[in-house]
């Protein structure tokens, strides 16, 4: 019995010593603004409110770049990238990330139409590709699945020729890493149904 206790004590001591030297990883969460398939990397704008579900604030600069895991088991669905950070129809504003200045840009918009409580399976959005840009009318139509919001708004002349990606909300993702810039695990929150059995 004494021998068994001695072995147990040695074993637990080794585990404790190893545990003290094991570096725990960190988590980063945000919205994807770039996804490079060739380099197998993402760039994201960190959500400063990632610990407050339902209240995202993509406001942290500079953007964070991560090389993605090679192991498919550690990698969720490939992300969609976009520059739309915030759409506020009450204040008639849209906030985008502008890569030319590596900063955010708040744009005044004129709301033409707003439809709320629109689920992904609603005929108004199902099977359709957004954004829909009408350069003649200078309008952009976007759909936010998180907000369940379908909206059309007019933008100032100088923005209507911005790339389509400007009006796209990139996927929200979570990255687990130990070494800065190198993701050990990657989860696409937008495209992962955590309730799916």
Average pLDDT per 10 consecutive residues for the chain, totaling 197 residues: 43 48 84 97 95 87 97 94 96 97 97 96 94 97 92 97 97 96 96 59
Give the pLDDT score at 194. 52
Give the pLDDT score at 43. 98
Q: Could you tell me the CA-to-CA distances from 185 to 21, 41, 47, 72 in Å, in that order?
A: 21, 12, 18, 10
Domain extents in the chain: 25-80+170-188, 84-167
Give the pLDDT score at 145. 87
Closest CA to 31 of 146, 129, 115: 146
Checking DSSP bridges between strand 26-36 and strand 172-179, what pairing results, if any? antiparallel
Q: What is the third-level CATH fold of 25-80+170-188?
A: OB fold (Dihydrolipoamide Acetyltransferase, E2P) (2.40.50)
What is the DSSP secondary structure assignment for residue 63, as one 8-state letter?
A: E
This prediction has a pTM of 0.83
Whats the size of the chain, residue-wise?
A: 197
Give the pLDDT score at 71. 94
Query: 80 phi and psi, to 5 degrees?
Result: -95, 135
Please work out, in degrees rounded to the nearest 5, the angle formed at the alpha carbon of residue 194 by the alpha carbons of 191 and 197: 115
């Amino acid at each position: 019995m004494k021998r068994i206790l001695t072995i147990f004590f040695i074993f637990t001591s080794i585990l404790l010593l190893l545990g003290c030297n094991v570096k725990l990883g960190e988590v980063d969460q945000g919205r994807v603004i770039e996804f490079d398939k060739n380099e197998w990397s993402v760039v994201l704008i960190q959500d400063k409110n990632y610990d407050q579900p339902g209240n995202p604030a993509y406001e942290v600069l500079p953007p964070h770049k991560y090389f993605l895991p090679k192991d498919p088991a550690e990698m969720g669905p490939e992300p969609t990238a976009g520059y739309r950070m915030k759409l506020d129809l009450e204040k008639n504003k849209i906030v985008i990330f502008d890569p030319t200045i590596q900063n955010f840009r708040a744009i005044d918009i004129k709301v033409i139409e707003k439809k709320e409580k629109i689920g992904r399976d609603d005929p108004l959005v199902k099977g359709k590709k957004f954004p829909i840009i009408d350069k003649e009318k200078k309008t952009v139509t976007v759909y936010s699945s998180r907000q369940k919001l379908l909206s059309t708004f007019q933008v100032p002349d100088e923005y209507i020729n911005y790339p389509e990606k400007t009006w796209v909300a990139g996927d929200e993702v979570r990255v687990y890493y130990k070494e800065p810039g190198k993701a050990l695990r990657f989860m696409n929150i937008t495209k992962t149904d955590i309730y799916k059995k």
